[in-house]
Amino acid sequence: MSAYDELMERMKDIDLISQISGLLSWDQEVIMPPKAAKLRAEQLAYLSSIKHEKMTDQNIELLLDELEKNTNLDEIQMGNLRLIRNSYEKATKLPNEFVIEMAKHRSMSMITWTEARAKDDFSIFRDDLEKMINLVRREADYLGYDDVRYDALLDNYESGLTVSKLDPLFKNLRDNVAPLVKLVIEKGEVPDMNWVMKNKWGKKGQENLSQRISEAIGFDFNAGRRDSSTHPFCGGPNPDDVRWTTRYSETEPFGSLYGSMHETGHGMYEQGRPRNLDFQPAGKANGLGIHESQSRLWENQIGRSLEFCKWSLTLWKENFPENMKDVGAENLWKSVNIIQPSLIRTESDEATYNLHIMIRYEIEKKLISGEIEVDDLPRIWNEMYDEFLGIEVPNDSLGVLQDVHWSMGAFGYFPTYTLGNLYSAQLLSAAKKDIGDINKQIQDGNFSPLLEWMREKIHARGSIIEPAELIKEATGHLPSSDEFIEYLENKISDLYGFDGNLN
């Protein structure tokens, strides 16, 4: 067996452990009995420990040292070595006892977060959150950083991402998008939403609508499934087993549908990964920013377009015949694109969404640096929602407890949502140049050309090259906010009849 083949066999062992852990985590969030929480924490901690031991085996470093001297490696092999080297160096910086402690606490913390959110009682989650913050600070210190501690955590989710890169990016978005939001609030006409608010939206109808649309845009349910959970997510071990969830509310149907389209976008990316690279690092999805580009593309740029509303109106009427009796495609389009500050990130509009991310980003920087502590969180959260979005937070379930990420220790994750928004607009702009009239294709319910373009340009490329390079390869230039801002300006002009005059 060659050194490369031996290294790939070791990576397969490690990946299988990750796949098993992923299934246990899915079970925990979807169907696990509450009393099983302590046992599940032990199970996940055990798997994390075994995975860490295998990843830090000195033989991996010896194999890497030998292979990195080879000048005849192909693109895939070089990608694998780059990714394995990065993972090995990070893993060897984390003590095994720390990995076990983090895995146990992550499992328990998610349980207390779920209870705290359901009961609107921050105190239930308070101690576990404090411990998680301290664990994440330790993790950043183990990993090391050049400028600020938070940089070590950002790099876990998007290679090379730093505060120095994000701060100007968020400033540019705020400077360009905030005036658009202000214009809409001051001059935009709010559509009549009585048809939504006066009706009840049954769960069965929402489930069927989500299922039909997910199938139509390209998710293969023979290789995946849909369920419900407190916080929508997408998981599963490999392209043959991809699982996503959504949640339902009888007072409005948009959260479940667009949550479903969001997770379907993630799921189609997972199903499209290169099968010849199963179990290899280069065969995995290319960072969370790229992953988020796929979910935001289908949720927003496609799902909230006028053309999609024209196509999907028939499905709406089939599942809610009484509610949709007098609703036309344009009314539906305007209703799903209302631009106004809101409390819930996952249900916010495209224009204000990044403001939600900015709030979390600013809070996380201060938490990780030690500038603020856990008891400051509810107050600071509420103050920042007032400052950034101009709205009052009525309770912690709709405020500081609304997202699952901190219970998982996923600090540094949120900024990838904004990167996903930027990437999705840039990718769609490039796709339009290659595959013709996408708007007509969407209105006809023909989603295959766009999905196949994404399969070729993004999904099939795995993680062979760095995320920024993948965007450049697919679109012709490095990541930029220009296409996203242009997309928002055009959409707002169309929605509110501003005739291109956004001043």
Is residue 262 predicted with pLDDT exceeding 70? yes
**Catalytic pick among 29, 158, 263, 483:** 263
Indicate whether this model's pTM tops 0.85: yes
The pLDDT of 410-432, averaged and rounded, is 95
Question: Which residues lie across from 235 on neighbouring strands?
Answer: 243
pLDDT in tens, 439-452: 999 999 999 999 99
Q: Establish whether 263 is a catalytic residue.
A: yes
pLDDT in tens, 169-207: 888 888 888 888 888 888 888 899 999 999 999 999 999
- Residue 503 is predicted with a pLDDT of 56
* 247: nearest Cα among 22, 28, 29: 29
pLDDT in tens, 217-251: 999 999 999 999 888 899 988 999 999 999 999 99
Mean pLDDT of the chain: 94
Please name the helix (run of DSSP H) or strand (run of DSSP E) that holds residue 231, with its range, or none.
none
What band does 124 get if pLDDT is binned at 50, 70 and 90? very high
Pairwise CA distance, residues 157 & 411, whole Å: 9
- Residue 347 is predicted with a pLDDT of 80
Pairwise CA distance, residues 280 & 9, whole Å: 9
pLDDT in tens, 44-71: 999 999 999 999 999 999 999 999 999 9
The pLDDT of 125-137, averaged and rounded, is 98
Share of the chain above pLDDT 90, in %: 86
Helix/strand/coil (H/E/C) assignment for every residue in 93-159: HCCHHHHHHHHHHHHHHHHHHHHHHHHCCHHHHHHHHHHHHHHHHHHHHHHCCCCCCHHHHHHHHCC
- Residue 400 is predicted with a pLDDT of 97
- Residue 499 is predicted with a pLDDT of 65
Q: Token digits for 36?
A: 């099983």
* 22: nearest Cα among 280, 298, 290, 408: 408
Is residue 502 predicted with pLDDT exceeding 80? no
Q: Which segments within 138-273 are labelled E, that is strand?
A: 224-228, 234-238, 241-246
What band does 388 get if pLDDT is binned at 50, 70 and 90? confident
* 104: nearest Cα among 52, 19, 42: 42
Pick the CATH number of 163-496 from 1.10.1370.30, 1.10.357.10, 1.10.8.60, 3.40.50.1100: 1.10.1370.30
* 341: nearest Cα among 358, 322, 366: 358
pLDDT in tens, 10-34: 999 999 999 999 999 999 999 999 8
- Residue 316 is predicted with a pLDDT of 98
